[in-house]
Structure 1
Amino acid sequence: MIYHYDRLWPNHPFVFHIPYQEVGGTDTKRIKYFPSPPDIKGTVLHLLAEIDDEEWIYWCVDDKYPIQLPTDKVASLISHAMRSPHIDGLLFCRCRATLSSPWFTLHPHKTKNLFGDVYLERKTWSQIWIHQILRAKVLRHLFKHLPDHIPSAKAMDDLKDEVPKLPEHRLFVTEKNYAVFGESTRKGDITQNCYESIVEAGIELPEWFQQPTGEYVTLGKL
């Protein structure tokens, strides 16, 4: 994932916080390693522990990676959102439920930024796992209210919907899509697109990722 951000967006502003249990790495200007609990709820809350509620973070779970990013546009959207006191989250990849089921996932009203980009306000947690900017309080609220025992990453798709999204946590998605992401795995197996991406990058495949599913799974279309 980080490889692709560096490749697509060489001057990106992010410092990636990487949790680990046993094997960490060497910190750099763009990567910081944090010893963390083994469970995902504990890990996320640990990473958020020293971050103020109003601080912005770029939420990017590593089971997805960028394939296409119009970086100048994305940078402009992020910059505007971070200067907007009424925005607590902005997703610039409109896909799946926010695209196919707007009656369920989005409020009907629209708003525009100074450059004419249209934002739609989200009323559910749909697409919360896709890379996006969020204020820390949004993620902290979500993960604090998830159960302590989460049987699998897949289970979080349903568990998140049992946590009320606070109306004062205002999350938006751009009406137009500005990103394409790939999914790395399906049910624990590496997707075909991720496998080919790793091979093309010359990255050594882990022993448990030698056999791809044959399935291409991407999010968003430009």
Structure 2
Amino acid sequence: MKAIVLTFDRHRAITQHMILQYERLWPDHPFCFRIPYQNLGGVNSDQLEYIKTPGETPEDIPAAVLQLLADLPDEEWVYWCSDDKYPIRLEIERIGELMTYALETADISGLLFCRTRVTLDQPVLTLYPKERLTPGGDVLLERRSWYQIWIHQFLRVKVLRYFFTKMPPHPPSAKAMDELKNEIVKPDDFRLFVTKENFAVFGESTQRGHITQNCFDSIKRSGIELPEWFRRSNGQYVTMGELPRWHRSWTKWTRRLLPLPRRKRN
């Protein structure tokens, strides 16, 4: 499955970190990350594909995304992942089951497995009331309009292609696109769902061009070299999504069963 990455050259370290997090949390993930670049290319592999696009400025974003999708048919499924977010925790077994269900269900055009913020706090505004039950017992809720289109999720190509075709071609900023999306009418047959239960925790990588403290700390631990413009964080910890209580309790309980690491004697 192609993973469509929204990024540009200046964010290459941020992109590498996001992909590394998927490799760590989901070692057998099915993605080949399509990475747009302007001057800073890379070596293609089974899991990485570099495509030259415009994109050095926010005005270029719609054209860059459309170029990443150019050779893909409308009904194909992709994984949409902007580099301004990265996974911290993933319930990969449940996510894998949900992915399989979505890919086999004709009337679903999008599936988000991180229920957080507006879809959690304002369901009347953002969600239709009817629930859908998957064969695996998970409950899906249909999203109104384009709510939470920027979070990592499974989408059919036609959804992204339509969205960025209708987006004004030269948005003044990435933040402005979040407001402009509200002016785009979503076709009724673009049915986008979110799981009633949350199965992921994501961190925000940047805010207004500055790296967050949580992303800075995570990248430093990873060993990825940060460019000069990302060597100081904004001091903010920004995450989204909270796993259910049973998961936290299970994690704590299983940790108690693990043997403590032996200390080396000097």
**Is this a same-fold pair by TM over 0.5?**
yes
**Which residue does the alignment assign to 2:228?**
207
One-letter code aligned to 2:238: V
Q: Does the residue aligned with 2:141 lie in a helix, a strand or coil?
A: strand
How far apart are residue 182 of structure 1 and its match?
0.5
- Aligned pairs (5 A) from 1:168-179: 168-179=189-200
- Aligned pairs (5 A) from 1:121-132: 121-132=142-153
Q: Which of the pair has more CA radius of gyration?
A: 2
How far apart are residue 196 of structure 1 and its match?
0.2
Show structure 1 runs of 4+ deviating over 2 A. none
Structure 1, residues 112-141: CA drift from partner, whole Å, max 9, x if none?
A: 011110000011211100000000001111
CA distance in 1, matches of 2:210, 2:132: 40
The match for 1:37 among 46, 49, 54 is: 54
The match for 2:37 among 6, 20, 23 is: 20
How far apart are residue 187 of structure 1 and its match?
0.9
Q: Is the 8 A contact 2:132 2:140 kept in 1?
A: yes
One-letter code aligned to 1:168: D
The match for 1:133 among 146, 149, 154 is: 154
How far apart are residue 86 of structure 1 and its match?
1.1
How far apart are residue 206 of structure 1 and its match?
1.2
Query: Which 5+ residue runs of structure 1 have no aligned equivalent?
Result: none
**With structure 1 as the length reference, what TM-score do the two structures score?**
0.99
Structure with more helix by fraction: 2
How far apart are residue 74 of structure 1 and its match?
0.7
How far apart are residue 159 of structure 1 and its match?
0.8
**Which residue does the alignment assign to 2:98?**
77
CA distance in 2, matches of 1:193, 1:67: 10
**Which residue does the alignment assign to 1:11?**
28
- Aligned pairs (5 A) from 1:48-63: 48-63=69-84
CA distance in 1, matches of 2:208, 2:156: 29
CA distance in 1, matches of 2:79, 2:102: 12
**Which residue does the alignment assign to 1:190?**
211
How far apart are residue 194 of structure 1 and its match?
0.3
Q: Does the residue aligned with 1:157 lie in a helix, a strand or coil?
A: helix
Structure 1, residues 24-71: CA drift from partner, whole Å, max 9, x if none?
A: 000011000000122110000001111101000000111110000011
Q: Does the residue aligned with 1:24 lie in a helix, a strand or coil?
A: coil
**With structure 2 as the length reference, what TM-score do the two structures score?**
0.82
How far apart are residue 160 of structure 1 and its match?
0.8
Q: Does the residue aligned with 1:47 lie in a helix, a strand or coil?
A: helix
CA distance in 2, matches of 1:143, 1:74: 26
RMSD: 0.7
Query: Which 5+ residue runs of structure 2 have no aligned equivalent?
Result: 1-17, 244-266
The match for 1:151 among 150, 167, 172 is: 172
**Which residue does the alignment assign to 2:86?**
65
Q: Is the 8 A contact 2:113 2:199 kept in 1?
A: yes
One-letter code aligned to 1:58: Y
Aligned residues, how many? 222
How far apart are residue 73 of structure 1 and its match?
1.1
CA distance in 1, matches of 2:100, 2:136: 12
Answer with 194-203 or 150-159: which moved more. Answer: 150-159
